[in-house]
Amino acid sequence: MIHIRGEGWKELKVGGIGQIELAPSRDPLTGDVLDLAHTVANTYVAHLGGPEVFGQQLWAEAQARCWSQAAETIVLGDGAPWIWNLAAEHFYDSMQIVDWYHAKQHLAQAANLIHGEGTPAAQMWLKTQETVLFEGHAERVADCLAHQAKTKRKVAKELRAQAGYFRENQRRMQYLERREEDFPIGSGLAESGCKQFRARFTAAGMRWSRPGR
């Protein structure tokens, strides 16, 4: 988010293009050191406005990086529908993956709704469902949440929404399979880009005009 004079806080959309390479890394699930996929030689685009122009800019950067010559490509996103709409328009033959860490955030929210924030029961439920999700069974997570919504009436609406998130993104949540194919499952590239832009544009007291002065 960037503060624009006369407009208030506005969203800066950030995307990145990178090449996939394997490197020794600690498995976030088991703690073992494995050769896992990462993106390298990353470049970024950013747009202060709607998704249409942002998508065109990201596609142009991908073309400059010879995206169309790659044997295999993926689009990693946080699950927002507009991201997949852009992927379908500009990166139509790329595999789609919901970022693992965003998916875990949704699981954590669901755990807190069911068992109470920070409780041992919530942590136990979260750990169990993380394994189910990582193994590629997002539909089971969705079914579990839908069942919980029938008895947790005070949070039923929120639980149904979380169930919908996992059901709608089921095909994008084949994490174990994707990792075994040497694809990254986390959007570290985009998160790193967001941190860089945040450091540049959101220091204390910073206010910007549309031209950037």
Q: Burial, 212: exposed, middle or buried (Cβ in 10 Å; 0-12, 13-18, 19+)?
A: exposed
**Residue 142 contacts residue 103 (beta carbons within 8 Å):** no
Predicted confidence pLDDT, tens digits, the chain (213 residues)? 888 888 888 888 999 999 999 988 887 667 788 888 888 999 999 888 899 999 999 999 999 999 989 999 999 998 889 999 999 999 999 999 999 999 999 999 999 999 999 899 999 999 999 999 999 999 999 999 999 999 999 999 999 999 999 999 999 999 999 999 999 998 777 777 778 777 788 878 788 887 765
Residue type, 11: E
Q: Burial, 55: exposed, middle or buried (Cβ in 10 Å; 0-12, 13-18, 19+)?
A: buried
pTM of structure:
0.87
Alpha-carbon gap, residue 69 to 63, rounded angstroms: 9
List the beta bridge partners of residue 16.
44
Q: How is the chain split into domains, by residue range? A: 2-98+186-201, 101-170
